[in-house]
Amino acid sequence: MVSTLVGNRAAKRVSVAVLAIASVILPTGCSAVEEGPSVIATPDITWASQSTSPLESDRYVEAARVADLGYTVAFNAADFSIEQFTSTHTGDGVASTARGFLATFVKAGRSPEVYPGPAIRLPLEVVENAAGDGAVITVCEAMDNWVLSAGVPETRPELTGGRILTVQIGTSEQTGELVEIDTTSSSDDCDATGAAVGLFVPEPDIPEIITEDDVRMPLGSQD
């Protein structure tokens, strides 16, 4: 789901299947019951600005927003069992994201990171498929300066330094709900001015170190 530059959210999500992203533990009380998914509350969001894109009300864009929020909550909590994430992504996407996170922040020892809010994306185009059960969304995502870490406790996004991203949304065969199938980053620059910018309340905690015991993998994972 993303690429590889530190602080580049789109790049990270795209290579989450290959390499991965960052994390933190949100102070929202997760359940430690191994028999089921953890229960973590979705944090409130304070919006500093609203989107100017007329595509925000499109059902596929709304589904992509919900999927991104689920991903972000899972990423920040280092818990990939939560319903907000597993219900909005494919099984393969869930598994590869979790493996990528573990490889990057535990096995490779990269310093933990956390997202201060949802992805900053300005929807540009929605192309629905012929069956009417999915679409490819083109967005401009502000990629720089949108992660927090122990070394960078404050951040400010640079909206003019965006990157074109495509998000594939489809219909789950299991639930019939719209889910994120794939997210791909390009090398094309763009201006995300006009994108909604929101901050989580409370702000996610930033761990100084993360171990394998801190990461909860998806249910049924063999990792």
Question: Which residue type occupies 110?
Answer: R
Segment 72-83 mean pLDDT: 97
- pLDDT score for 26: 32
Most confident of 18-22, 78-82, 218-222: 78-82
pLDDT for 39-72, tens place per residue? 999 999 999 999 999 999 999 999 999 999 999 9
Query: Does 218 have pLDDT greater than 90?
Result: yes
**Contact yes or no for 27/46 (Cβ under 8 A):** no
Percent share of the chain, pLDDT over 90? 75
Query: Does 18 have pLDDT greater than 90?
Result: no
Structural domain spans, the chain: 9-26+43-206
Q: Two tokens at 92?
A: 């393969």
Q: How confident is the model at residue 223 (pLDDT cuts 50, 70, 90)?
A: low
Q: How confident is the model at residue 35 (pLDDT cuts 50, 70, 90)?
A: confident
Q: How confident is the model at residue 32 (pLDDT cuts 50, 70, 90)?
A: very low
Average pLDDT, the chain: 86
Q: How confident is the model at residue 13 (pLDDT cuts 50, 70, 90)?
A: low
